[in-house]
Amino acid sequence: MELEPSQIEKKEFGLSLRGYNQKEVDQFLIEVGKNYRELIEERRVLLGELEKLKKERELHFSKEKRIEEALISAQRSAELINESSQERAKLIVKEAEIKAKEVVKKDEEKLKGLDYEIEKLERQKRLFIAKLKSLIETHSELLNFYEEKPEEEKVEKPIKKKVVKKNTSQAGILFEG
């Protein structure tokens, strides 16, 4: 279930005897809602950046393909020219290969950077979810504790009566002990 920040901020809980301070709960929900809204906005921005980088990556793949096609074309042209121009064509091909390798190397570095950022975002997401689960569990345990405590207080403790032993001496004097 995906929550909206407004759902968190407007969440109301029923009142109960010896429950939480309503103002504190309301303030906490407002803070959680603000933080959640910030995370959603940050996620939206990061997803936008990720889409932009994916488009750039596709553009680089397209450039690489064009470079490869140009390389193939240069090789075909080299076969058609005479002996003197074949040496020149080989130099052009080598330069194109070097440029293609540079472009591929740059693209691979960008791709590694993107992969790292994606992993980083996934780790942040998992960390946020784990913290949120922990917070929810803690609050759930607190709620359970406070829900159970009034029932424990209802159990009446038995009143201990003091037992008085009466001893009489031979003279008929009563001793209490």
pLDDT tens track for 16-68: 777 778 888 888 888 888 888 899 999 999 999 999 999 999 999 999 999 99
Query: pLDDT grade, residue 147 (50/70/90)?
Result: confident
Q: Residues 64, 100: contact at Cβ < 8 Å?
A: yes
Which of 42-46, 103-107, 151-155 is predicted least confidently?
151-155
Residue whose structure tokens are 């074309």: 73
How far apart CA 113 and CA 39 sit, in angstroms, is 22
User: What domain count does the chain have?
Assistant: 1
Instruction: Tell me what percent of the residues of the chain surpass a pLDDT of 90.
Output: 36
pTM of the model: 0.34
Query: pLDDT grade, residue 89 (50/70/90)?
Result: confident
How far apart CA 149 and CA 17 sit, in angstroms, is 11
Residue whose structure tokens are 């309301």: 26
Which residue has better confidence, 175 or 92?
Answer: 92
| Residue 149, C-beta contacts closer than 8 angstroms, at least 6 positions apart | 18
State both tokens at 94. 């080598």
Q: List pLDDT tens digits, range 112-124.
A: 998 999 999 999 9
- Tell me which residue of 57, 3, 61 sits closest to 32, measured CA to CA: 3
How far apart CA 132 and CA 124 sit, in angstroms, is 12
Query: pLDDT grade, residue 80 (50/70/90)?
Result: confident
DSSP secondary structure string, the chain? Answer: -PPPHHHHHH------TT---HHHHHHHHHHHHHHHHHHHHHHHHHHHHHHHHHHHHHHHHHHHHHHHHHHHHHHHHHHHS-HHHHHHHHHHHHHHHHHHHHHHHHHHHHHHHHHHHHHHHHHHHHHHHHHHHHHHHHHHHHHHHHHHHHHHHHSPPPPPPPP--EEE-TT--EEE-
Greatest alpha-carbon pair distance for the chain in Å reads 149
Domain containing residue 34: 5-176
